[in-house]
Amino acid sequence: MRRYADSFFRYWFVAIAPIILFPLITLGVLVLRPTPVNVTARVWTDPISNKAMGYDDPSLTPAQNFANNVTQLLAVSSFDSQVARESPLYARLAATHADPHSWPATDLRSNLKAQAAGTNLVTVSYSGKDRATALQVLQAVLHLAPTEMELFNRRPLNEHVLKTVDPPSVPSNSFSKRSLLLGLGIAIFAGLLLAGGFVVLRTALDQSVRYADEVPELLGLPVLGVVPYSREFSNREGAG
């Protein structure tokens, strides 16, 4: 144990490097990396709105039917294009891709989800790269969906049939403190593990005799005398 402590104090600057660097690198990655923004809204619906779309399954709840209807809408390229036209920021983002006309369909089908949150309540969410664009996209979807239902039904829908209960919003705690603490904890543990491994390996590779009581163990011979180490004398000999 004494040799390990001696190795640590001899090479402390190398041993503590990962303990300091790993958490700093982890903190930088977690804070500076672009994280998707998840925007959510809740919609209340009833069976009439589902029948208006023509995708009504009596075995499912109104919320489940409406979630399926949204999925069906996303499969229609014209609807995806309407969402892009309704959202200026989203249209600008689509223009940066190789195929700006088909990209919205691919993106919406991957990142926009509708899930039943009760018998008549549906949670609609969209995961985007920035807050403003994600809000525009979800607002456009919720605005255009009733219009599509009216086209299928050939008559206006009553506002009580399909109503947005909670408008699109971004959670205030979009960056999880728990994830940050967990990442830092793992980084510190990894740094300590690497530092300990370095000390153990450095001690194992060092075959020199550091202490007088090691001589009998290593050579089986008694210690006749000990010459203390003098840094001043060593420097003087080196200069000479």
- Residue range 120-155, pLDDT digits in tens: 899 999 988 888 888 999 999 888 887 776 665 554
pLDDT of residue 193: 92
User: In the structure encoding, which two tokens stand for residue 122, read together?
Assistant: 């549906």
The answer to whether residue 194 scores a pLDDT higher than 80 is: yes
pLDDT score at 61: 84
Starting at the edge strand found earlier in the chain, the sheet holding 162-169 runs 112-116, 121-128, 37-45, 162-169
Q: Could you give the count of Cα atoms lying within 13 Å of 210 in the half-sphere of its Cβ? A: 11
Return d(Cα 3, Cα 7) in angstroms, integer: 6
How far apart CA 203 and CA 49 sit, in angstroms, is: 74
d(CA 137, CA 89) in angstroms, rounded, equals: 9
- Predicted confidence at residue 159, as pLDDT, reads 46
CA distance 214 to 121: 76
Residue type, 186: I
Cα–Cα distance measured from residue 119 to residue 117, given in angstroms and rounded to the nearest whole number: 7
Q: What is the per-residue pLDDT across 53-71, written as a single tens digit (0 to 9) for each? A: 555 677 888 888 888 888 8
Summarize the confidence of residues 213-228 as an average pLDDT.
74
The contacts of residue 182 (CB under 8 Å, 6+ apart) are none
Domain spanning 36-169, CATH class: alpha beta
Strands 162-169 and 112-116 come out as unpaired
The pLDDT of residue 113 is: 92
Diameter over CA atoms, the chain: 108
Q: What average pLDDT does range 159-172 have in this prediction?
A: 64
Mean pLDDT of 16-37: 81
DSSP 109: H
pLDDT category, 111, cuts 50, 70, 90?
A: very high
Extract the tokens encoding 191: 């740094």
Domain boundaries, the chain: 2-31+177-214, 36-169
pLDDT of residue 107: 92
